[in-house]
Chain A
Amino acid sequence: MELAVKNPDGTATPAYLYTGGKPFDAALPCVVFVHGALHDHSVWTLLARWFAHHGHGVLAVDLPGHGRSAGAPLASVEALADWLLALLDAAGVPRAALVGHSMGSLIALEAAARAPARATRLAMVGTAYPMKVSEALLNTARDAPLRAIDMVNAFSHSGIAAKPSYPGPGAWLHGGNRTLMRRVQALQTGVNLFHHDFSVCDRYAGGLEAAAKRQCPASLILGAHDQMTSPKQARAIGDALQARVHTVAAGHALMSEAPDAVLAALRSALA
C-alpha cells in the first residue's frame, strides 16, 4: 500500500509499504520491517507474510529513494528514524515492534530511542555498532559502485548452496541479491545510492546513546558467518541493550540464507 508520509517541512511524500499479502489492519499488533543498504521491502516478504497471517499488522517499508518509495534518500540514521515514526503516524499505528536489517537495524534502534513509548520490541538483524565501513570500500562504492556491489554481494553470503533458498526453491541467492542491489541503485539517477547508504551507516554515532534511551526488550539476530557485520562487532551494542542474542548459521544475508531460522528467532524476539 502507499501512504503519504509527512516531511519535517510539513509537506508529504508517498511511501510504499508491503503488508504481507493481507490488507493492513492498524488495530492488530504491528510489526515494522526496515531493510538495509541498497535493498527494498522484498528482503522481508517471507517473514512479513508469516507475521501478517499470524495475527499481526505488517508494514515492510521501502525507505525514501529506495524501491517504490518516492523522495530523495535521507541523509542520516536520525532522519530516517524520524521518517519511520512519521510513517507510523500516517499508518495510524501508535506502537509497533521494530525490526531492521543492517542499516535498517540502526534506523529501528534510533526510532526506538526517539519514541521509546512507541516501540514494543526491537529486533536488530545482521547488525553491528559502530557500523563502520572501510575507507577502501567507501571509495569503491563511490568510484565503481557495480564493482562494490559484487564485493558486498560476495561478502554477504556464507556459501553458494543455502537451502531452501529465498523466496523459494530454484532461486540463486547471489544472483538475486546482486540484481536487487543493481536495480535499487539504478532507480536513483542523481545520487550514488550505494555510497550514500554506506556513508549513512558509517557516520552513525548515536547507537549507545540510543540504546540507553529505548525502553522495550531488544534482541539481536546475528549470522554466525557474517563478514559484513560480524557477531563480534555486535557485542557492545548487545551489552548496552541487554539484548537476547540469537545466532543463526548464515552470513549477512541471513533472511535469505536461513529463512526458517530467522523466523524462529524473530518469533521468539517478538513474543
Chain B
Amino acid sequence: MPGPSDPGFDTLALHAGAAPDPTTGARAVPIHLTTSFVFESSEHAASLFNMERSGHVYSRISNPTNAVLEERVAALEGGAGAIATASGQAALHLAIATLAGAGSHIVASSALYGGSHNLLHYTLARFGIETTFVKPGDIDGWRGAIRPTTRLLFGETLGNPGLDVLDVPTVADIAHEHGLPLMVDSTFTTPWLMKPFDLGADLLFHSATKFLSGHGTVIGGVLVDSGQFDWHAAHAAHGRFAELAQPYDGFHGMVFSEESTVGAFLLRARREGLRDFGACMSPHTAWLILQGIETLPLRMARHVENTRKVVQFLAAHAQVARVGYPELESHPDHALAKRLLPRGCGSVFSFDLRGSRAQGVAFIEALKLFSHLANVGDCRSLVIHPASTTHFRMDDAALAQAGISAGTIRLSIGLEDADDLIDDLKRALKAAERAGA
C-alpha cells in the first residue's frame, strides 16, 4: 500500500526540529544565548527538575537552539534523539562515561583518529577503563576480545587515515550476540553516505567540526542514540548496564530504562554526563553547525565528485606509490565499500609519496590551494602529514597497525574547482620530484 513516509533527507536537513519561531516569526533558527529559562511557577520549576514536564532549565543541560541541532542530526541518522557536545571527543567521552566505569572494558578498532586512540589507550586507562584494539577487518579478533567486563564495541565507519571500512552489520551482530552495543564514529561518512543505524549500529557520534559544520569555523560533537538497544534486557541477561536499568541515586532514584524504552541512554547521558562533566555546546556553535547541515547533501555530493577526480589523477601519477581510497580496486576494503557506501567513500583519504621524507616536506610546502593544517571536512581542501601530527604519539608499530607510513599524506578534498586542485597537486608533485634530484 503506498502511503506517507517521513520527509526525505534533503528536506530533513533543512527543516527537522525547526519551525518559524512562534513568538517572533523568525524563519531561521534563533540563537538562544541565555544561560537559563524562567519558570512559570514554583510548581512548574519542580516538575521540570523532576522530569514531570519536558523543557529547558539551564543551557549546560539543554538549550532550544541546541535542541534543534540534536533533533536534526537524529532525524538525518534515523535515531531516537541526540545530545550536542563541546567536541567530537566530548561526545565519545560522554558515551563511554554513560556506559562504563572503573573495571569496564571496551573493544575498539585499531584504525582510529589519534585523539580517540589517545583517550582510549592512555587517558581512560588511568580511570580504570581498559581497551583492547583489534584490526577493524579482523572479525574473529572482535569476537575474541570480548570479556565479561566489556561494555561497548567501537569503531569508525571509515578508519582514520587508511579508510578501513568497518563491516558494521557483522560487528553489530557480534556485539548483539554478546548483549553489547556497537557505537561508531560517523564523522567521515556523515548520514549522507552511510546510515549506520540501518546497518545495525546502536550508537554513533560525529565530530560536527568536520562535514556537518563544513566550514571549518567551530568545534562541536553530536552523540546520537538509535533507541534500538534493549538495556533492560541486557541487564536482565548479563547484569550489565545497571547505570540504565537500576535506580540512579544521583537523579531521584530514576531507572532510565523504565522512563523511556527508547531514550534511556540519552536521558542518563544528559542527566548525568552532560550535567556533571559539563562538556556542552554553545548555542552559537549549534547555530553555525545548523547552517552547515542545511547544505550537507549538496556539499557531500560535490566533496565526493571532486575526490573521485583527484583520486583518479593521483592513482595515475608516477610519483605516487599508493592511493588509499576504497573505491579503488586496490583498496583492501573495496568490496565492502561497494556494499556499505554506494554513494561514495567521502573526501578524506591518504596516499604515499615515492621518495624521501624531505620530498614529502617539499610536496606539502609547495601546495598553494591546499592548506596544511589539522582538520578535515572543511569546504576548503586540506593536507596533513599524519606521522608527524595527528598520530605523532604512536610508535612505529602502532602506526603500522593503523596503516600509516612515514610517507603517508592525508588529503581532505574541498569544494573548489577540481581542475584547480589537480593543478595544485601537479605543481607540488613536481616540487617533490625536484627535491629528490
Contact = CB atoms under 8 A, between A and B. Distances in A.
Interface stretch (B74-82, B135-143, B421-429): B74-82
Interface in A67-104: 67-68
Given A42-B262, A167-B263, A175-B80, A151 B5 contact: yes
B56 A169 contact: yes
A74 to B, nearest CB: 21
B56 A164 contact: yes
Interface string B262-304: 1100110010000000000000000000000000000000000
Given A68-B232, A170-B66, A175-B81, A154 B5 contact: yes
A40 B260 CA distance: 10
Interface in A157-204: 159-161, 163-172, 174-176, 178-180, 182-183
B121 interface: no
Q: Which of B7, B75, B230, B254: most chain A CB closer than 10 A?
A: B75
A176 B263 contact: yes
Q: Which of A45, A159, A176: most chain B CB closer than 10 A?
A: A176
A10 B385 CA distance: 74
A67 B261 contact: yes
B126 to A, nearest CB: 30
Contact of A50 (B5, B15, B52, B70): B52
A161 B19 contact: yes
Given A53-B47, A172-B74, A160 B16 contact: yes
Contact of B230 (A46, A170, A183): A183
Nearest to A49: B52
A176 B53 contact: no
A45 B259 contact: yes
Contacts of B66: 169-170
B228 interface: yes
A21 B78 CA distance: 29
Contacts of A259: 53-54
Interface string A135-166: 01101100000011011011100011101111
B307 interface: no
Contact of B80 (A155, A163, A179): A179
A176 B1 contact: no
Contacts of B7: 160
B interface, size bucket: 35 or more
A230 to B, nearest CB: 15
Given A151-B5, A180-B227, A171 B252 contact: no
B1 A172 contact: no
Main secondary structure on chain B at its contact with chain A?
Answer: loop
Contacts of B50: 21, 49, 53
Given A151-B5, A153-B6, A154-B4, A159 B19 contact: yes
Given A150-B5, A172-B17, A259-B54, A50 B261 contact: no
B71 interface: yes
B400 interface: no
A263 B53 contact: yes
A203 B62 CA distance: 44
Contacts of B254: 21
B398 interface: no
B262 A168 contact: no
A46 B54 contact: yes
B52 A174 contact: no
Interface in B48-85: 50-56, 62-64, 66-68, 70-71, 74-75, 78-84
Given A168-B267, A172-B81, A179-B228, A161 B67 contact: no
Nearest to B232: A68
Given A161-B15, A172-B82, 6 more contacts: A21-B51, A46-B53, A164-B67, A169-B63, A171-B71, A174-B6
Interface of B: 1, 3-7, 12, 15-19, 47, 50-56, 62-64, 66-68, 70-71, 74-75, 78-84, 226-228, 230, 232, 252-254, 258-263, 266-267, 270
28 contacts: A21-B51, A42-B262, A45-B259, A46-B52, A137-B1, A137-B3, A140-B3, A147-B3, A151-B4, A154-B6, A164-B54, A164-B67, A165-B71, A169-B54, A169-B55, A169-B67, A170-B62, A170-B67, A170-B266, A171-B263, A172-B71, A172-B81, A175-B74, A175-B79, A176-B260, A180-B227, A183-B230, A183-B261
